[in-house]
Structure 1
């Protein structure tokens, strides 16, 4: 009960408590020692008649007791601070598993709060280190795979004893792997630009409807190759105040994913809705869909639901999408079931000064 009661006091109370008890302990123990010296006859009963002798003896005894008590009390008071300093040195040295205990008799509230915040910081830094290590490993894998492929097929082409069909096939693979490397570099660069940002600049009022129409045209080659039927519902020109360059990446990534995971000769539904306080973009495919495990990780860096990695992509697209949407204070919702397709909904709130479309 005492251990739960004392830590509620602040550092001023605890410090005062120590000083007060040191003084009283010093005076009390000095009195006991002088009484004992009188009883054993070491001091005569009339020693107090000579004040100089009495004061000297009292000062000597008090000094010895004070040094011993102060040493013990000081160690008790400074132990938590020494522990904190040692823990901070370990943390600075890269040991993110270090923790500071926040229990103990007469540990003030300030030190308990510091310990809790320090432990939370160390835990967060440990998580960041794990993410950094995973990022390096995944990036190395994603970068190395196409390079090895390029090197292998370049060696085969160098031999020269190939048919024209084989040469064309190997050249197509080299071009495809080069495109994959370029896409990986682009996504990593985009992610590095926006990952640590909490706001964005370069925002302007632009025609969001027209931007999405252009994105559909840009991805036409991909969805036409799969003979997808597009159902587009963008009936009006919707103007939005945001960063058009960043948002363009969102639509391209979402449409690429929708096409990629749609079945051959399937259907793709794209909608843009305008409300008083927000705009809503929806893209729905009727392809392979996702289970709950895959859906829980789709925003993780380098995560790919297709563990065979037979489909195009590097697992960064949805990470970039989520960050850009967050920068616009928006929300992203993913609904999906295996073999039933996926619906991705982006909700972007309108700015306070955003009005109707500008007069042209």
Structure 2
């Protein structure tokens, strides 16, 4: 997988051309003004002659002066003043102030377009900064919780008066929290990699139904321990994509279904291919979700309450959404509290 190359923009030729024409017009006006002054001086020198009059030189001077003033005001208000505000705002953004916005007052033409683009860029940067701050805060909290637990139970294990049962319980907790940290680190690295990926490479044509069966078998131990039943209704489908990347979708969806389905429940995987698209749905008879949870379920570190255990980290579905987007597909969820959930992934059935 590789990043898409950013297309370099050409220099602002239109703005330079407009400014050149305006400045050229201003030069022409002042040349005419200078010629008018020269003509006026000539008239004054020959004022004693009857056929000389001051009317035309004065009229030329007046018109040239008015045009010069109007053109100068137009250039300043329409171009120089907005560009000055844009430069000041750019310096503010460079210093880390993403809340700055440039007023559109007096801006026109290409300068107005640049200001609109700048304001949009500043708004995006502000949103990214807020997301980054929220991510760091949440990330720190999520890492701090298992670390405190590990430290606490490690200190308890130093006590020589523990019974074998207590020592085993504390050891299991340390191992469990360590595994949670390891899984969280892996998921964060995966998510960071996928969020910085725009083009998926390494595509091959492979059996999607066989991939789903393999993912179910890989988690067989987990669903058998809970006494769950896993059923599949899979069409024979060949899919052209990055096999390793797509497998993260099914692994995370199945893991979630196993985690949120009580003992004795059922998980159903359905694969269908229609004209132009492939649909995979993973359904469970678990605890379900309310509408508020469904609105946030794909956000980073979001974990619905009540959460069945401490193994999750709220990143699995974020990875699912990003990978599905990279594949050009979409993911949706339908759920009701106490009635289970169904996650549906739709992928384009593109040929090789």
TM-score category of the 2 structures, normalised to the smaller one: 0.7 to 0.9
| Cα shift at 1:85 | 0.7
Q: Is the 8 A contact 1:205 1:239 kept in 2?
A: yes
Distance 1:205 1:11, change over 3 A: closer
In structure 2, the residue matched to 1:141 is: 141
CA contact (8 A) 1:212 1:251 kept: yes
Aligned residues of 2:233 and 2:271 also touching (Cα < 8 A) = yes
CA distance in 2, matches of 1:246, 1:273: 20
Residues 154-196 of structure 1, C-alpha deviations (whole Å, 9 max, x = no match):
1000122100000000111111101101110110111121112
C-alpha offsets along residues 64-85 of structure 1, whole Å, 9 cap, x if unaligned? x79x958766643411111111
Structure 2 gap segments, 5+ residues each: 1-14
Question: SS state of the match for residue 200, structure 1?
Answer: coil
Q: Equivalent residue for 2:257?
A: 258
Q: For the Cα contact (< 8 Å) 1:102–1:111, is it kept in 2?
A: no
Secondary structure in structure 1 of the residue aligned to 2:122: helix
Deviation at 1:278, TM superposition (A): 2.8
Tell whether the 8 Å contact from 1:87 to 1:99 is kept in structure 2 after alignment: yes
**Cα distance in 2 for residues equivalent to 1:328 and 1:103:** 44
Task: After superposing the two structures, state which structure 1 stretch, 17-26 or 117-126, moved more.
Answer: 17-26
1:160 match: 160
Alignment of 1:74-113 (within 5 A): 75-76=76-77, 77-104=79-106, 107-113=107-113
Deviations 1:193-250 (A, max 9, x none): 111211111111222222211211221222222222222213x543221111111111
SS in structure 2 of the partner of residue 159 of structure 1: coil
Query: Aligned partners of 2:31 and 2:82: how far apart in 1?
Result: 24
Of 310-319 and 142-151, the range deviating more from structure 2: 310-319
Separation of aligned partners in 2, 1:194 and 1:316? 12
Larger CA deviation: 197-206 vs 309-318: 309-318
Q: Deviations over 1:25-78 (max 9, x none)?
A: 9979x989x99xxxxxxx9896576xxxx9xx99xx99xx79x95876664341
Measured after TM superposition, the shift of residue 279 of structure 1 is 2.4
* 1:85 to 1:227, Cα distance in 2 relative to 1, 3 A: same
SS at match of 1:253: helix
- Distance across 1 between alignment mates of 2:270 and 2:95: 52
Q: For the residues of structure 1 that align with 2:19 and 2:188, how far apart are their CA atoms?
A: 53
1:188 aligns with 2:188: yes
- RMSD of aligned Cα (Å): 3.5
TM-score (norm 1): 0.79
Do the aligned partners of residues 72 and 155 (structure 1) sit closer, same or farther apart at CA in structure 2, a change above 3 Å counting? same
Query: How far off is 1:307 after superposition?
Result: 6.6
- The 5 A counterparts of 1:193-342 are 193-234=193-234, 236-306=235-305, 310-342=309-341
2:136 aligned with 1:127: no
Number of the residue aligned with 1:3 = none
Given the superposition, is the C-alpha separation of residues 132 and 305 from structure 1 closer, same or farther in structure 2, using an over 3 Å criterion? same
- Equivalenced residues, count: 324
Stretches of 4+ moved more than 4 A in 1?
10-28, 43-49, 68-75, 307-311
Matches within 5 A, 1:41-52: 47=47
